[in-house]
Every structure is written in C-alpha cells, then in structure tokens.
Amino acid sequence: MATQYSPARIPNLRDKIPKLEPRRKRPPPSNPLPLPETPSLPSPPDTSSHSFQVPTRRILSTRDHELFLSSPTYTLVLAFVFSLSDAVIDTPISNIKSDDDCSPAVKSILSILDEAEALVQATPPDDSEGSRFGNKIFRTFLDKAKAASPAWHQKLGLTSQEAIAEVETYLNHSFGNRTRIDYGSGHELNFIIWLLCLYQLRILDKADFKALVLKVFIRYLALMQTIQSTYYLEPAGSHGVWGLDDYQFLPFLFGASQLLHHPFITPLAIHQELTLEEFGDDYMYLGQVSFVNSTKTVKGLRWHSPMLDDISSAKSWTKVEGGMRRMFVAEVLRKLPVMQHFLFGSLVPAVESMSTETDLGISNEEEETEGGGVVVEHDGVKHVHSAIGWGDCCGIKVPSAIAAAQAAKKNGAGETLRRIPFD
C-alpha cells in the first residue's frame, strides 16, 4: 500500500516578523529654564516727601545676591527691561521718523548723549601708549562727563541736588569703569537703571518706551561704540568669543523683539552681508552683528562669535527672543560677578538686611585707586580682587578686540579681515 505523502507545514511568518511601525519623532529637549514673562511694572512711587540717597553697592556676598533675586527691586528691573523690549515688537527703527515724534524728556536725553559724544571728540586718546588695553585718557573724559552731569539733569527738570546726586550716579557709571578702563553688560544695565530712575520720578512714562529703545538706546549704543573705539575699553570679564558680544547684551534682546514676526528675515540672515547692509540700520540685532564683524581680525561668526553663530540656527525669532530673555536673567541678573557692581539707592532700593560697603570696610567703587582692591565672594568664599583686573573666578584682563583690529590695519593688514586657512 502506497504511503500517503503530506507536505510539510509552512510556518506563518507573520507571527515571527516584527510589525513595522513608523519611527516616532522624538520630542525636542526641554529647556530647564522657564521662559521669563514680563512682570507687571509698578507705578512710580510718590516722591513728594522722598529722601534721596547716593547709590552704593549692596550685593557683596552670595547671601546678598539671593536676597536681591527674591526682592521687589529684582521684579522692578525685570519688568522695566522686558516692558522696553515688548514696546518694540515688530517695530523697525525707522518707525519713529524724527526727534519731533518724541516727548520733551526724550529729546533732552538725546541732547545729553550728543553732548557726551562732543566730550569724546574734545578728548582724543593718547596714541603714544600703543597698547591694546584701555587708554588712560578715558578717565579724563569721565571727569568731563561728571562735571557736566548736574547741568544735564537740570535739563530734565531735576532741581533737587539730592535727586541729581542719586540719579546721575547711574549715568556716570554707564560709560565704563574708571579704574579698570573696561565696559560690559553691567555698565549697559546702569544706563537702563538711569532711565528707570527717570521713570520712577515721572519724567518718563510708558508712552515713551518705544522711543527709549528706538531713539535713546540706539543713540547710547552709537555713543558707546565711539567710546570703545576711541579709548579701547577692555571687555569686562573674560567670556571672550563665548559671549554674545564683547561689550553689549541688550541690542540682541531688543533686536530679537523687533524681528519677532518678520515675514522674510530669519535668524540665518546674520550670515548674509547684503541683508546686514540693507537692514542693519533698521534692526538692532543685525546692526550689532555688523559692528561685531567690523571689530574682529578674523572673518566668520563661527570663529569669532560662535554663540551668535549657534543662535542663528534657531527656526524662528520667537525662539531667539525667548532665549535672550532667559540669558538676561541667567547671565546678567543672576551672575554675581556682574551684579556685585550693581548700585542701589532710594529709587531702586536694596533689601534692608543686605550688606553695606561700610560693614565690610571697603571703599566706594568710584573712589578706588589703581592697584586697590575690592572684597568679593565667589562660591561662598570672600576674597580680594585687584582693582585693575579680575581673578580667575570673575574673568581675566582681556585686551580690546577693537584695538587689535586697529593695530592690524596700522601694520598694513589692509581693510579686509583675514580668513582662517581652513574656513
């Protein structure tokens, strides 16, 4: 009898082959720092029976800094800066056609800045020094500005000598440090606090905010570029190329707000020379990038300003603007090496329990002589810095990039920037 043949059973491969599913898109990494919102700006105080005081340093320890960060003054500063930024959202500089569109107070401030620049022109640097570090004639300019300051503030309607003594301190400290001949984001913040004091005194109001950014701050920025180029101010601290800019921060915050919803200028546009040339006068972010490029001795943002280069890869100005808000909080207000020079008076008050310069036996920063010292605290340890530079915890003495560029031109390097060989 023939054996009946039964074919081998074919296995069901569908049960063994894993089911193919489309790869799920990974969520972007979350930023551990929340996006800082704009706090409500408090109304100016009643100054009818106000007691003014000359501002002094009060953040002299880690504890003092922590007290500041939880104080109403911290909220006041944050609210004022972010309100200025919000006032220029999607607004080019040309939106304010002329000074005639500004209030009398804003016109007076612009006049003061013009007079300050005239003082720079009347105080040429001493070229015999031949140094890439700060030119000491800068101190002569500061002396002239301080002498003119009371008359400047009388233009603004201040008549009380006590009020002038308090408010002018911030303006005098906004041009740079007399002893170290340097400038950084702390000095830039002093200028903003000067405007805040004028707001607290009701000389300025919220209707002026757009003009304060697009006219006043732009004018201050041009003045500081002149001062930096004339006296070779050193960058305060030693972030170098790992910072946004050797000197300024706020042009990038305000500038990102200006471009927040721009229809065709993207963050990558900072690499396009034609875009910088065409729109740099209308948008602060682009104008500052142009200035940074002009002060460097090498060509290419990725070489001399890698942080700006990294930020340019952001998909939108919304991302950039949010990052600038976070950076202002983290790298300015929350940085002890910056805020240990912050000045507190009656209009921008300190917490009562914060240290005083008298408590620690140190002199007023303006009274320090070259070679003197200042007590600071880093990682909870108090130590003394030489007044002519910083220790490693707060940065090292850095020559002016502007001076290096000028020296390269004098040595016959020409007007063009040298390229990195493998760029």
Residue 296: other Cβ atoms inside 10 A:
21
- Per DSSP, helices labelled H in 99-160 are 104-121, 138-155
CA distance 174 to 378: 25
CA distance 305 to 368: 33
CA distance 409 to 423: 22
Predicted TM-score of the model (pTM): 0.83
- Low-confidence residues in the chain, pLDDT < 70: 1-8, 27-32, 128-132, 237-243, 297, 366-423
Residue 205: other Cβ atoms inside 10 A:
12
What's the pLDDT at 398? 54
| Average pLDDT taken over every residue of the chain | 84
Per-residue tokens: 380: 């909870």
CA distance 179 to 187: 13
Q: Are 293 and 241 in contact (CB under 8 A)?
A: no
Paired with 373 in beta bridges are 386
What's the pLDDT at 292? 87
* Distances 76 to 151, 178, 411 between C-alpha atoms, Å: 28, 28, 49
What's the pLDDT at 302? 75
What's the pLDDT at 415? 47
Locate tokens 């300050």: which residue? 116
> Alpha carbon 63 to chain centroid distance?
24
CA distance 246 to 237: 9
Instruction: Count H helices and E strands in the chain, helices first.
Output: 17, 6
Taken as a whole, the chain contains a residue count of 423
What's the pLDDT at 130? 58
Paired with 112 in beta bridges are none
What's the pLDDT at 127? 78
What's the pLDDT at 149? 98
Angle between helix 250-258 and 317-328 (nearest 10) = 150
What's the pLDDT at 423? 37
What's the pLDDT at 381? 44
What does R_g of the chain's alpha carbons equal in angstroms?
27
